[in-house]
Amino acid sequence: MIKKLIQRLLGQGTGAAPAATAPVAAPADAPNDTRADTRAEHPTDAHRPAKAARPPKAPRPAAAPVVADLQADARSARIPAGTRVEVPVSEHGIDPMLVDERAVKVVRTLQQAGFEAYVVGGAVRDLLVGRRPKDFDVATNATPEQVKGLFRRAFIIGRRFRIVHVVHGRGRDHEVIEVSTFRAYLDNSEATQVAGNEKTGKAALAGSAHAVDASGRVLRDNVWGPQVEDAARRDFSVNAMYYDPATQIVVDYHGGIADVKAKLLRLIGDPATRYREDPVRIIRAMRFAAKLGFGFDPATAAPIPETVPLLANVPISRMFDEMVKLLQTGHALSSVETLKAHGLHRGVFPILDAVYDEARATPQQQAFVRQALADTDRRVNEGKSVAPSFLLACLLWHDVLAGWRERQAAGEHPVPALQQAIDAVFDARVGDISGRGKLGADMREIWMLQPRLERRQANTALAMIEQPRFRAGFDFLRLRADVGEAPVELAEWWEDFSLGSDDEREALLVAVREAQRQAPRKAAARPARPASLAGQGEAVAEEAAGDADDGQAEAEDADGGDGVEGAESGGDGAPARKRRRRRRKPAGARNGDGAGSGGGDAPPAEA
C-alpha cells in the first residue's frame, strides 16, 4: 500500500488526483475529446468531470508521508533542475519584430485564460543569434485538452509526446504553432519498462504515461510537471529557454544564454544518459553544430561513439525525418561534413550510404551530389521553397542509374528497366517511409522525366512543359548538365522553350524538326545500342529508338509500305529485330502527298 501511495504522489497511480506540486500523468489512451482534466492547479475548470466518491480508508501510520518525502527528495536530487534566471531585454537583446505574430497570439490567448505560456526551444535560440526562426513552439502549463478548448482549429496529436497543433490560415499559407505542456523530469527507474519497441510493445505501452525500452530510450513521456522540470528534460542548454513576448523576459535555467554567446552545445545532465533516453539527440547535435557553427562541450561529445549503435532502435520514419531536416537547414554541405567528422556519414542513414559508397562513387557522382546540396542551401538562404523529393532524387539518382544500366545490359527494355531500378532503390534505401507516398511518387516522376526530356520531340514538347513536375524534372536535368552528365545545349533548349513566346517556341520546334530530318537514317539491322543512359549526353535507348522509328516510318511511307517490321529484315536473310512504333499514320494519309513527311514534320496528320 505504501508503494501505491508513493506512485500516486509521483503521478503514476490511477487513483485520486495528486497534489499540485506532484507530476500529473496524462491519460494516454482515452479519446482526445473526452479525456478528463488531470491538472490540479486549475480546480475551477467547469469541464472537468466529477470524480467518483472513494470509500473511506483506515488510518495509516505516519510513516507513509515520511517515505514519500524521502522519495521526493531523492528524486529531486537526480533532476538537474538549475536555477531560474529572468533575463531582461536589455541583456538578451531579442528583436520583437522577429517574433511571429501568430505565435504571440497563441501565447497571449493562453495567458489571458490564466495559464503560463512562453515561446520555447529552438525559436528562442535563433532569436538570440538574430535569426528569424522558421518554426515557433509554445510551452504552457495548460493540458492538451485545455489548449484545444481555447482555439477553433487545434488538434491533439502524438503518442510518445502528446502535443497540440494550433493551425492558422489555410492552404499553402497555413502555419502551425506547436503547443506542448510542461513535462515532469522522471528517472527511468520510475517508468514502465517495456521489453520491445513502439510496435512490439504496444500492449505494455497501453495506458502508460511514462515508459522506456531496455536501452533506456523513452517511448512515452506524458507526465505533466512544473516549468523547472520541463527545462531539465530538454536536451541542450541552448534549447531550454523560455521567452515571454508580453514582458520580453527570457527565463533561463541552465545557462543557455551564456552557451549561445560562447557558441557551445552542451547537454543538460549526464550526456550518456541523455543520449540513451533519445539517441536522435546525436543527430540533432550534428544539425545544430552545422546550422549555428557551434562547437561541442567535451563532455557532450565524449559519449557519441559508444551511443551511436542505439540509433538502430529508433523508428525508421523518425530517422528519415531527421535526415531530411539535416539536409534542409540551409547548411546541407556543412551538415554532411560534420557527419563525416564524427564518422556518421556511413551506417546511420541508408540514403547517405548510397551517396558515400566508396566502392561505387565516381568523381561525376560526387560533383553532382555537391552541386545538389549547394543548390539546396542557396534556395533555403534565399527564402525559396525546397522540396524534399527533389533533394532525395538527387542523392539516389546514381543508385537508380546503376541499376538501370545493369537491367538494360541484361536485355530488359529501357522503360521497365528504369521502373524496376527505382523500385529496388526504394526498397533498399527508403523502405516503407516514402516510397509508397507522395514523396516517392514525386521522386519517381522526376527520374522518369529524364529520358523524355532527352528525347526532345517536337510534337510532345508543348505537352511536356505543361506537366506539373516539369520544373523539377528540368532543374534535375540542369544539375546533370552542370556536371557534364547531360548536354548543356539540351538544358538550354528546354529553358528557352519553357520561357519563350509562341513565336520563339515555334522557331525552336522548327529547328528540332530540321535536325531530325537531316539526321542520317539508321540501317535496318543494327547492333544493340549501349545499355545505359549515355552519360556523355546521348538519349537513352528507348528514346533514341523512338526517334529512329520515326525516320524509318518516313522511308516506309515513301515506299508505300504498310508499316510493319518487314522493312527491318537484313539483306542476308537474318531475322528482323522487332521494334515498337511510337506513332502510326492514318490509313488515308499514307498514299497522300504528305505521306513521306516523316516522324516529326506534320503533327496534324497523326492519328
Written as one string, the DSSP assignment of 4-16 is: HHHHHHTT-SSSS
At residue 386, does pLDDT exceed 70? Answer: yes
State yes or no: pLDDT of 239 exceeds 70: yes
- The grid cell for 607 is 492519328
Whether 332 is covered by a domain: the verdict is no
Is residue 502 annotated as a catalytic residue, yes or no? no
Has residue 581 been placed in a domain? no
100, 221, 230, 235: the active-site residue: 235
User: Do the domain assignments include residue 282?
Assistant: no
Q: Would 195 be classed as within a structural domain? A: yes
- pLDDT at residue 583 above 70? no
Angle at the Cα of 330 from the Cα atoms of 327 and 336, rounded to 5 degrees: 40
d(CA 398, CA 454) in angstroms, rounded, equals 17
For cell 538550354, name the residue.
492
Positive or negative: CA dihedral 279, 282, 285, 290 = negative
Residue 123 lies in a domain: yes
530 or 487, higher pLDDT: 487
* Predicted local distance difference test score (pLDDT) of residue 350: 81
Tell me how far apart the alpha carbons of residues 68 and 74 are, in angstroms, rounded to a whole number: 10
- Helix H or strand E segment including 126: helix 122-128
Could you tell me if residue 339 is inside a domain?
no
pLDDT band at 383; cut points 50, 70, 90: confident
Note whether residue 545 is domain-resident.
no
| pLDDT (tens digit per residue) in 416-439 | 999 999 999 888 877 655 445 788
At 358, the pLDDT band (50, 70, 90 cuts) reads confident
Q: What is the pLDDT of residue 515?
A: 81
pLDDT in tens, 172-195: 678 999 999 998 877 655 556 666
Residue 409 CA to residue 530 CA, distance in Å, equals 8
pLDDT at 112 over 90: yes
Burial of 499 (0-12, 13-18, 19+ CB in 10 A): exposed
Q: How far is CA 392 from CA 26, 160, 246, 297, 474, in A?
A: 38, 27, 42, 32, 16
Name the catalytic one among 45, 135, 270, 321: 135
**342: closest CA among 296, 387, 374?**
296
Q: Tell me 79's DSSP state.
A: S
- Beta strands 249-252; 137-140: pairing state: unpaired
Looking at per-residue confidence, does 579 or 440 come out higher?
Answer: 440
Helix, strand or coil, per DSSP, at residue 234: coil
Whether 135 is catalytic is: yes
Q: Which residues contact 51 (CB under 8 A, 6 or more apart)?
A: 16, 17
**Residues 158 and 169 sit within 8 Å (Cβ to Cβ):** no
Residue with cell 480546480: 43
pLDDT tens digits for range 248-281: 999 999 999 999 999 999 999 999 989 988 899 9
State the average pLDDT over residues 503-511. 90
Residue matched to cell numbers 566508396? 358
Task: Tally DSSP H helices, then E strands, for the chain.
Answer: 25, 15
Q: What angle do CA 115, 141, 181 make, to 5 degrees?
A: 135
Select the highest-mean-pLDDT range: 239-248, 390-399, 536-545. 239-248
Alpha carbons within 13 A on the beta-carbon side of 10: 25
Residue 76: closest CA among 183, 2, 187, 239: 187
Is 442 one of the catalytic residues?
no
Q: Which of 37, 100, 137, 259 is catalytic?
A: 137
**Collapsing DSSP states into helix, strand and coil, what is residue 168?**
strand
Residue, of 592 and 79, whose pLDDT is higher: 79
Mean pLDDT to the nearest integer, 515-529? 58
Contacts of 443 (CB under 8 A, 6+ apart): 389, 392, 393, 396, 422, 434
For 364, phi then psi, to 5°, come to -65, -40
Question: Residue 296 above 90 pLDDT?
Answer: yes
Comparing 47 with 138, the larger pLDDT belongs to 138
Contact 508/490 with Cβ under 8 angstroms? no
The domain that holds 186 is classified in CATH as 3.30.460.10
> Mapping DSSP to helix (H, G, I), strand (E, B) and coil, where does residue 116 land?
coil
- CA 82/CA 278 separation, integer angstroms: 21
Report the number of distinct structural domains present in the chain: 1
For residue 179, the model assigns a pLDDT of 96
If one compares 223 and 510, the residue with the highest pLDDT of the two is 510
Query: Which residue range forms the structural domain that includes residue 26?
Result: 19-43+67-277
Does some domain include residue 263?
A: yes
Query: What is the sign of the dihedral through the CA atoms of 177, 179, 185 and 186?
Result: negative
Query: Residue 556: what pLDDT?
Result: 40
Across 226-230, average pLDDT: 92
Is pTM beyond 0.75? Reply is no
Contact of 348 with 311, CB cutoff 8 Å: yes
Angle, in degrees to the nearest 10, between helices 316-327 and 280-292:
10
If we measure between CA atoms, which residue out of 440, 389, 385 comes closest to residue 173?
385
